[in-house]
């Protein structure tokens, strides 16, 4: 069963919006293009793991991308899988090449075409998520000693795994995505047989979804880009020119002469993702280069936004930004 379905992360959405809006000659363009590959690979890896997890029986509830509060901050879990007897925390890594888990230096070393690169040990990361989650359970649900098992799922089936670990634990914790559900089923049976008692999965599901606080990255601030440097208007899905004009009830590209649908709604999404958390009818007209307040209203209504305030001063924002 699905508790929270797979969605494209707001980080990936924000990078895609920025690459659409930033002129290709902008000095930060190549930096952003390079940075974009990380959330993209992350999402592809999570997609792979999600399709595997969906093969689990209905005794398991799958949550993708939960961001839960811990002290003054948050921690983000790629996948949480809940059953009546235990909980699984899964960190996904989508890396090609040879992955060497160095347990002495607590590092992950990736080798691709003889080039070595060091990363934080994902086992340490997932272990940290495990104890933070355990604290969250005791604080929010008043459940202490909830059985939590953690995994690092390797999404890329051709990556080679190596380690210098002396103990066997790493072989149970770091698994290729295709074998992940076997491990989950084994642990679930183990806890069922131990008969520790049952978890209230309905209540836990509700509390997890209530506490989940999606992350909203501010890429303009991060890369020192001003809103005025971005391209306004509707971007053509065929030639990427920001030169679409409203003609006879349709959007026509003046560059390549093709029509498109949905570009205006996407433009509103880009605005809310990058420039401001809300938009007025007037700001929408000036941003899209249209004159009719009725047309702006129609576009805003068909975009995935919600309006606040009286008609005259109404501002529109994304549903998710309520929290």
Report in angstroms the alpha-carbon separations of 145 from 71, 131, 141, 187, 220: 19, 10, 12, 16, 43
Q: How many residues bind Zn ion (CB under 5 A)?
A: 7
Binding-site member from 169, 239, 250, 292 for Zn ion (CB under 5 A): 239
Tell me if 236 contacts Zn ion by CB under 5 A. Answer: yes
Complete edge-to-edge strand list for the sheet that includes strand 107-112: 115-120, 107-112, 98-102, 160-163
Pairing mode, strands 73-82 and 61-70: antiparallel
Strands (E), 121-243: 148-154, 160-163, 174-176
The residue (of 5 and 23) whose beta carbon lies closer to Zn ion is: 23
Q: Which stretch binds Zn ion (CB under 5 A): 137-145, 148-156, 254-262, 280-288?
A: 254-262
Q: Contact with Zn ion (CB under 5 A): which of 26, 52, 130, 238? A: 238
Residues 279 and 64: their CA atoms lie apart, in Å, by 29
Q: Give the C-alpha separation, 266 to 39, whole Å.
A: 20
Cα gap 165→167, rounded to integer Å: 6
254 in contact with Zn ion (CB under 5 A) = no
Question: By three-state DSSP, how is residue 230 classified?
Answer: coil
Question: Is the CB of 196 or the CB of 254 nearer to Zn ion?
Answer: 254
Q: Which is nearer to Zn ion, 23 or 27 (CB)?
A: 23
Q: Count the alpha carbons within 13 Å of 261 in the hemisphere toward its beta carbon.
A: 1
Is 110 a binder of Zn ion (CB under 5 A)?
A: no
253 binds Zn ion (CB under 5 A): yes
Binding mask 175-204 for Zn ion (x = CB under 5 A): ------------------------------
260 counts as binding Zn ion under rule CB under 5 A: no
In the complex with Zn ion, which residue's Cβ is closer, 246 or 315?
246
Q: How far is the CB of 251 from Zn ion (least distance, A)?
A: 10
For the bound state, the minimum distance from the C-beta of residue 19 to Zn ion, rounded and expressed in Å, comes to 17
Binding residues (CB under 5 A) for Zn ion: these are: 236, 238-239, 241, 253, 255-256
């Amino acid at each position: 069963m699905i508790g929270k379905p797979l969605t494209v992360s707001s980080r990936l959405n924000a990078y895609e919006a920025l690459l659409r809006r930033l002129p290709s000659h902008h000095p930060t363009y190549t930096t952003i293009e390079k940075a974009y590959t990380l959330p993209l690979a992350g999402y592809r890896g999570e997609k792979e793991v999600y399709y595997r997890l969906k093969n689990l029986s209905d005794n398991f509830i799958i949550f993708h991308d939960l961001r839960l509060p811990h002290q003054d901050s948050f921690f983000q879990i790629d996948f949480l899988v809940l059953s009546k007897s235990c909980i699984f925390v899964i960190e996904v890594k989508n890396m090609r090449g040879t992955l060497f888990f160095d347990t002495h230096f607590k590092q992950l070393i990736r080798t691709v075409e003889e080039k070595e690169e060091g990363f934080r040990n994902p086992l340490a990361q997932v272990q940290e998520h495990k104890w933070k989650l355990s604290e969250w359970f005791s604080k929010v649900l008043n459940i202490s000693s909830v059985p939590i098992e953690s995994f690092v799922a390797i999404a890329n089936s051709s990556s080679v795994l190596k380690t210098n670990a002396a103990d066997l634990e790493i072989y149970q914790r770091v698994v290729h995505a295709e074998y992940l559900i076997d491990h989950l089923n084994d642990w679930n049976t183990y806890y069922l047989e131990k008969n520790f008692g049952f978890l209230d999965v309905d209540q836990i599901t509700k509390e997890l979804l209530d506490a989940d606080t999606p992350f909203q990255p501010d890429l303009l601030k991060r890369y020192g880009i001003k809103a005025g440097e971005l391209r306004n208007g509707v971007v053509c899905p065929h030639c990427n020119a920001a030169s679409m004009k409203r003609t006879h009830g349709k959007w026509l590209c003046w560059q390549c002469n093709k029509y498109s649908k949905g570009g205006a709604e996407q433009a509103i999404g880009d605005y809310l993702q990058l420039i401001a958390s809300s938009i007025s009818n007037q700001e929408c007209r000036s941003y899209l280069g249209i004159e009719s307040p009725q047309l702006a209203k129609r576009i805003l209504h068909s975009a995935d936004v919600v309006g606040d305030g009286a008609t005259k001063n109404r501002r529109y924002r994304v549903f998710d930004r309520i929290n």
